[in-house]
Structure 1
Amino acid sequence: MSTPTIPSSDASEPLLSVGSITAGVTALIAVVTAFGLDLSADQQTAILGVVAVVAPLVVSLVGRRRVYAPATVSRLLAVRGR
């Protein structure tokens, strides 16, 4: 098992909320339908249904790579001598 690196204290927030992803897709659907893409209400609902399932998975995968448990951070800092 590899030792994770100590996170930077000046790193920005790595996660988007599921709500912001859903809002972005909703806005995208509104724009493309306004410019002529013919999506029925059922198709729009289906797209948003897929987003409702996929968005939490994406957020969790990104978050898992960027978030450290307090015990891991304590252990890394102890090894570093802090």
Structure 2
Amino acid sequence: MRTILEEEKANVEAALPLVTEDSRLGWEPSMEYMTDPEHLQWKLQLLQETRDNGIPAFEKQLLQKQKTPRRQAPPAELPWD
């Protein structure tokens, strides 16, 4: 997850000066999709928040689940018991 996040951060950082220089970049008229420097800055902040808080919280939850002993199911009652 961290690798994907860092690669996406690099993509955004590479796109930011290009979109800043040419406002035509990031516009897709058939889908009315647009990105601009403000959206890219927002995405960088979101990626940082995810890296600093979201991923560690998720990892902590996973570790807690691994430490919790699994409950054993009661033995099945057989019809001839």
TM class, shorter-length: 0.3 to 0.5
Q: TM-score, normalised by structure 2?
A: 0.40
More relative contact order, 1 or 2 (CA 8 Å, 6+ apart): 1
Instruction: Tell which structure's C-alpha radius of gyration is larger.
Output: 2
